[in-house]
Structure 1
Amino acid sequence: MDSTDNIFASTLPTDFDKALSTQLFEASSDGIIIMNPNTEILYANEAIETVFYYTASSLVGKPIAELMTNEDRSKFIEFKTHYINSATDQPIQKQEYTGIKLGGFEFPLSLTLTTTQLGKARYLVLFAHDLSVTPEKLSILRESARKDNLTGLANRSMCLQFLSNKIEDAQKNHYNFATFLLDVDQFYKFNDEYGQPVGDEILQHIAKKIVAACREQDFYARVGANRFVIVMDKQNTLQESYFIGKRLCKIIGRPFTLHEHTITTKVSIGVVTYPCGTELPEKLLLFANQALTHSQCLGGDQVTVYTKAFQQELEIHEKMAKTMQSLSSYEEFAIYYKPQIKVDSKVVVGLQASIRWHSPLLGVQPMNHFIPLAQNVNIISEIGDWAQQNTIRQLCQWYDRDITIPISLDLYNQKIIHPEIKEKLNRLLLQYPTFKRRMYLELSAMFMSAHSKDENQAQREIDHRLGIRLTLEDFSDDQTSLLYLITQHPFDKITLDRSFIENIDNNPLIRKLIRLIIELTEVRHITTVIEGVETEKELKILQEENCKVFSGPFFYESMPAEEVILLLLTEQGSGLQEF
C-alpha cells in the first residue's frame, strides 16, 4: 500500500447510517460506492442494483475490481493509485471499463472517482454508470427496481422507503397513518390444487382488488410471496382502522371465477397505526406482523389492531406457549361444567364441559386463552383426548349415582372425518358403555362452514353408529347460514352465543331473528340453548320469543365437578330431565 493511502479511511464511522451524506447517497438515482484504499466496498447505495444487478448489501466487502473483466482490473488499480497521488490537483477523475453484471454479462462501465469527508475522515467515492443504458432505459430500470414484477405494485424495498418518508413527514406535520399487513390464508392450497401459474393469477387478482378498494392517495405494495401492505393517511382512531380492515377482508373474500374455477380467497390482517413507539419502518412492519400472526391464530379471515395492550397480551401468550410446550402431564388441567337450565321447570337439563388450565406460573387460564396456543404447539389432540376421557369417566360416575345428565364436550375443531377420531370414540364407548346417548360433541359454526360431504357422512356415522349426539356450538350473528348448517348436518342441539342477545332490549330485529331460529329448529326437533344470559330483563324477553333453555352468569358460572354434584343432588335430586 502506498503511504498516501493512509490519508483515506478503511472503515465507515459508527454513525454512518445517520449522516446527512448517507441520506443524500440513498436519495441519488446514480449508483454510488464508498471503498477503502484496498478497493474493498464499504458501502453501496440502492441504485447500484440498476448498474450491476447485485443488491447493495451483497456487494459490501467485495473488491470493486471483481466487477470488471480481468483485463481491466490492473487498469483500475493504476487508476486508483494515480487518483490518490493527484487528488489535490484533480478532485474528480473518470475512466471507462468493461464491467460484469450479476450473471456474467459484460457491459461498458464508466467510473467517476472522487472523495468525500465524513466527520474527520476522508473516503474514496465511485459513481458508476452503465454506458449502454439510455436515459429512457434507465428510467424504466429504476422504475422496475421499485416494483413487483408479478402484480405491478410497489415491492418491499420501495415499501420500506415509503414508510421511512411517511414516518418523517408524519412527525413533522403531526398526523396519524395506518399500515395494514395482509396475508392470504392457506394460499399454498391454491398452488397445490391448480398449479403455480394459476396461483400467480390469483395474486394478480387480489392486487387488483386492493387497488380498487383503496383511495388514490393510498400506498400499496406486495412485500412477500402472498403478503401485501396498504398504507392509509389520516386514520385517526384504532376503531377506524379496524373497520377498514374488516371491509378489506370482505372485499378480498368475494368469490371470482378463474379458468372455470370459483376462487374464494380469505386474508388475515394486522394493523398498526403511527405513532406506535418506533420511528423505524422495519419495526413498524414487525408490529403489524405480530398483529397479523394473532389474526392467523384466530383461524384467519380476521383483523387484529396492534396496541400496547395487545403487545402485553402477546408477551403473556409467548410465555404461555413456552410453558405449555414444557408440560410433562395434564395434571394442571381441570374440567369445568356450565349448567344449562330449562326455565319453565327450573331444572338443570344439561352441562357444557370446558377446560381450565391451573398453571402454577400463570394462574388460572380459561379455555379460549390457551386452546389456540395448544393448536400452535401441536398438543391440542392430546389435550382433547384427555378432556374427552375425563369427561366421559365423570359422566359414568354420575350415572352410577342415578344422575343421567347429558354433557356437551368440545372437539376443539378436530376433524371428525379423520378415522383416528372415530376410532378413539369407539374405544371410549367400549370402555364406558353407559355414556351412549348422554354425550354431545360440539362443533363450532365457523369450523363447520368449511365442511365437506365426507365430513357430513362422518357425523352421521357418529350420531347413529356410536350413539353420540352433535351440537352446533357458539353460532353467532356474523357466521355462515344457519339454515344451511342445520339442514345439511345431523345436529341435535345448537347454542347461540352472547352476540345474539346483546342489546336485545333495544333491537327488535334481534328478537325477530331469534324467533325465526327457534321456529326453524323446533321444526327439525333441535334444542336451542341461549348462552350468556346476564340479566332478568334479557331472560324475560327471550322467554317471550319462546326460548326455553339457557345458560349464563344470571343462572350459574362454570364450576368444577364437586360443585356440580352438590348442585344436582341438593336442588334437583336425581329426578333430572333431559332434552
Structure 2
Amino acid sequence: MEKQTSSKGEKQIKVLVVEDDRQDFVLINQALKSSIRAKYETEHISNYKDAVSVLIDNEYDVILVDYFLGDETGFELLKRAQEARIEKPIIVMTGSTAVELDDMLIKAGAADFIPKDEISSTLLDRSIRHAIERKTAEQEIARLVRRDPLTGLGNRYIFEEHMELAIARAARSRSRLAVIFMDLDRFKDVNDTLGHHVGDLLLTLVGDRLRRLVRKSDFVARIGGDEFTVLLDNIQGYHDVEMIVSKIIEGVGRPAPVSNTTLDISVSIGVAMYPENGAIGIELMQKADMALYESKALGPGHYHFFTESLQERLVQGLEIERGLKEAINHSQLELYYQPQVDLQTHDIVGVEALVRWNHPERGVVSPIDFIPIATRSGLIIPLGEWVLESACRQMAAWNDMGFKVPVSVNVSPKQLKYRGFFDFVLKTVSKYGVDATDLELELTEEVFIESGSASLHMFNTLRNMGIRISIDDFGTGYSSMRYLKDIPLDRIKIDRSFVSEKGAGSISDPAITRAIILLAEGLKLEVIAEGLETEKHAKEILEQGCSLGQGYYFYKPLPVRSITRLLETKLRPSLIAGEVKG
C-alpha cells in the first residue's frame, strides 16, 4: 500500500486507487497532481484482496478502480461495496471501449466509467468532482426520504432500520434494549380548536424536547400523526427505562408555548423490552404499541410495560379475531333482544338488538370480549352490517305476525366512517320493507364530537327518512354539550354506570341522572335509562322524570323465540295496531 500526498495546509480530496499496473498508477497519480482545480491525496492498492479489506475505511472520498484485477474484475468489487453498504463513489477505469460494459458498470453501481487511453488531468478531475457531487446529492435525498419533514426526526423506515441493527448488536453483546411508543393525549382537540398549524408547531416542539431528553446513543423518530418512537440502546434493566420514561413524561409534559398561547400537554407511553418481549423489530413495535394502548386506558400521562398478561391477551385477541371471521361467515352469530318498557305501565315499547356469538368450542362468547377486538381489527364493519340486516329481517318477520316493534341497533364509530354505511342502511331498510320509523340507531358521544359536515348531512338524511337517532352511554364520554344543539337527535340513553354500577338498591348517582333528565327535557329529547336492576331503581328514576327504561329487573336479553313468545303475550294492543309511543 502506497500513499502520495500534496503539500500541507491545503484542502484535499482523498482518492483510493486500486490498480495492479504500477505504471498506470504513476500516470493516474501524475494526472491528479497536475490538477489546477483541486488537491488530491492518493492511496494505492495493487490487488483485489487488499482492496476488499479496506473498503470499510471512510478516510477517502472516492475510489478509482481498474476493471481487470488479476482473476477478479470491477464487478466483484462493486458487488462487495454494495454488500458492505459503501457510500463512497466508485469510478471504474478500463482499456475496453465497449459501450455495453459502460452501461453494465453504471447499472452495477459505478459512479462513472473512464477509458484508460483517455485519462487526463481534466477528465479525472471532472469525473471525480461530478461523482462526489452526485453521491452527496443522492445521500441528501436519501436522508430527506428517511426523515420526518415536519420535525426533522427519523421516520418509521429509518427507525425500523436502526432497531434491527440495535437488535443485532444486543444479540452479539447479550445486552438489552427498549422500544418506546408515545403519543400526545388529546392532540386531536388541539387540531380541532386551534388549527392544524398550531398542531404542527406543537409536534415540532415535542420532537425537539424528545431529542434533548434522551441520551445521545438513543434514537427518536416520528412515525405518523402524534406518534413518536424512541429506541433505548444498551439498557441494563427496567429501572433504567423507568427513569428515562419518567423524564420524558415530565419533560415533554411541561407547558408548551405555541403560537401566542400556552398549552398544557401530556403524553402516554408504551414500552417493550428486548429480549424479554421479542427478538424481531416488528414484534417489539407491535407490543410497545399494545402497551401504549393499555397506558392510555389508565388516563393521561401514564406509561405501561408490555407484560405476560398482555401477551396472553394478544394471543387470545388474535384467536378471537380469526374465530370472529369464521363466525360472521358461518352462522355462529345470533341476535338477542332486550325489551324497553314504559316505567308507569310496564308495557313493552321497543327492543334493543344485542349480538351474541355461539362459539362451537367455547360456547357463548361475551360481547365484552369480542366487540373491542372487532373494532380494532375492522371486523366491526361486516359484523355491524350483519347485525343491522338481521334486525331488519326480524322486524319484517314480526310485521308479518302483526307486531310493530321498534328496534334499536348499536352502531360503532368505525361503521360511520365506512363510506358504504349510509347506502347499506338505505338498501337494508328497503330490502325488508320495514318502516324506517321503527328503526333506531344508537351512537356513542364520540361519534357526534368527531362529526364533520358530511356526517351531519348523513344524520339529517337518515332522520328525514324517519330513522331515529339516539346517544348511547350518555354522560360517560365528553363533557362538552355543544354537539347536542347541532346534531339531529331523538333520544338520550342514561348509562347504566349512573344507575346500578355500585350495586346498591338505590340509584348510583341520582344527581347525575336528574341532571341528564332535565337536560333532555330542555332539549325536548326522549330519555331512557338502562341498567335498571331493582324495583327501587325503576321507581326512583321514574320519580325523577324518566318514563322509559330497560334492565334485568324487567327482562334480560332474550333469543328470538323467547322474545317472540313474550311479544305475543305482553305487547300492548296500541302497538299491535301501529301506534308507537314517542
Q: Same fold (TM over 0.5)?
A: yes
Matches within 5 A, 1:170-249: 179-182=180-183, 205-209=202-206, 221-222=220-221, 224-226=223-225, 227-229=227-229
Q: Secondary structure at the match of 1:557?
A: coil
Aligned equivalents of 1:499, 1:244: Cα separation in 2: 36
Deviation at 1:221, TM superposition (A): 2.0
Kept in 1: contact 2:380–2:415 (CA 8 A): no
Report the Cα offset of residue 333 of structure 1. 1.7
Counterpart check, 1:567 vs 2:570: no
1:518 alignment partner AA: I
Question: CA–CA distance in 1 between the matches of 2:84 and 2:165?
Answer: 25
The answer on whether the counterparts of 2:206 and 2:252 sit within 8 Å (CA) in structure 1 is: no
Counterpart contact for 2:210–2:220, Cα < 8 Å: no
Quote the offset at 1:513 in angstroms. Answer: 3.2
- Counterpart code for 2:202: H
Distance in 1, Cα, partners of 2:438 & 2:416? 18
Structure 2: distance between partners of 1:255 and 1:531: 44
Q: Which residue in the other structure is 1:406 paired with?
A: 406
Deviations 1:119-165 (A, max 9, x none): xxxxxxxxxxxxxxxxxxxxxxxxx9x99886366884788899999
1:519 Cα deviation (Å)?
0.7
CA–CA distance in 2 between the matches of 1:526 and 1:326?
40
Which letter does structure 2 place at the counterpart of 1:484?
R
The code of the aligned residue for 2:312 comes to: Q
CA contact (8 A) 1:242 1:305 kept: no
In angstroms, what is the RMSD of aligned CA positions? 6.3
2:132 matched residue in structure 1: 105
2:305 & 2:422 partners in 1: Cα distance?
A: 39
Deviation of 1:228 after TM superposition, in Å, equals: 1.0
Give the letter for the 1:351 counterpart. Answer: V
Residue number in structure 2 paired with 1:530: 529
Partner of 1:437, secondary structure, is: helix
Q: Is the 8 A contact 2:335 2:353 kept in 1?
A: yes
Contact map agreement 2:413 2:446 (CA 8 A) in 1: no
Code of the residue aligned with 1:578 in structure 2: it is K
- Read off the aligned partner of 1:437 and give its amino acid letter: T
Amino acid at match of 1:559: L
Structure having the higher Rg: 2
Distance 2:55 2:186 in 1: 39
1:280-359 to 2 correspondences below 5 Å? 282=281, 284-291=284-291, 306-325=306-325, 329-359=329-359
The alpha-carbon distance between structure 1 residues 239 and 450, as it changes in their structure 2 partners (threshold 3 A), is farther
The secondary structure found in structure 1 opposite 2:341 is: strand
| CA positional deviation for 1:396 | 3.0
Q: Is the 8 A contact 2:210 2:252 kept in 1?
A: no
Q: Deviations over 1:339-380 (max 9, x none)?
A: 223333233332111222323355433445445655666665
Alignment deviations for residues 55-107 of structure 1 (CA, whole Å, 9 cap, x no partner): xxx96744989876658xxxxxxxxxxxxxxxxxxxxxxxxxx9x99994289
Q: How far did residue 440 of structure 1 move?
A: 0.6
The residue that corresponds to 2:581 in the other structure is 578
With over 3 angstroms needed to count, the CA separation of the structure-2 counterparts of 1:212 and 1:339, relative to structure 1, is farther
Q: How does 1:76-225 map to 2 (within 5 A)?
A: 104-105=131-132, 151=151, 156=159, 179-182=180-183, 205-209=202-206, 221-222=220-221, 224-225=223-224
- Match of residue 494 from structure 1: 492
State the Cα deviation string for residues 230-260 of structure 1 (Å, max 9, x = none): 6899999x999999999999999x99769xx
Alpha-carbon contact 1:350-1:407 (below 8 Å) kept: yes
TM-score w.r.t. structure 1 length? 0.57
Instruction: Provide the C-alpha distance between the structure 1 equivalents of 2:530 and 2:211, rounded to a whole number of angstroms.
Output: 39
Identity of aligned residues (%): 20
TM-superposed CA distance for 1:493, in Å, is 1.2
Q: 1:246 to 1:448 in 2, by over 3 A?
A: farther
SS of the residue 1:479 aligns to? coil
Report the AA paired with residue 492 of structure 1: D
Indicate the residue corresponding to 2:466 in structure 1: 467
Change in CA separation of 1:569 and 1:318 when aligned onto 2, cut-off 3 Å: same
Structure 1 residues 65 and 512 mapped into 2: Cα distance closer, same or farther (>3 Å)? closer
Note if contact 2:153-2:221 (Cα within 8 Å) is conserved in structure 1: yes
Change (3 A) 1:553 1:378: same
Whether the 8 Å CA contact 2:253–2:266 is kept in 1: the answer is no
Give the residue type in structure 1 aligned to 2:347. Answer: V
> Aligned residue for 2:276?
277
**Counterparts of 2:473 and 2:248, CA distance in 1:** 24
Asked if 1:437 corresponds to 2:437, the answer is yes
Structure 1: which amino acid aligns with 2:182? L
SS of 2:482's equivalent? Answer: helix
Are 2:471 and 2:491, in contact at CA under 8 Å, matched by a contact in 1?
yes
| Partners of 1:392 and 1:42 in 2: CA distance | 75
Deviation string, structure 1 residues 261-319 (Cα, Å, up to 9, x no partner): x9x9x99966137699348694644420344589999xxx9998633222222222223
Aligned residues: 458
SS in 2 for 1:442: strand
Unaligned stretches of 5+ in structure 1?
Answer: 1-35, 72-97, 108-143
Q: Report deviation, 1:408.
A: 0.4
Q: Distance in 2 between matches of 1:437 and 1:249?
A: 51
CA offset at residue 448 of structure 1? 2.0
The more displaced of 283-292 and 154-163 is 154-163
- Partners of 1:279 and 1:425 in 2: CA distance: 44
What is the one-letter code of the residue matched to 2:203?
I
Q: Secondary structure of 2:437's partner?
A: coil
Going from structure 1 to structure 2, the CA distance change for 1:150 and 1:430 (only over 3 Å counts) comes to closer
CA contact (8 A) 1:343 1:550 kept: yes
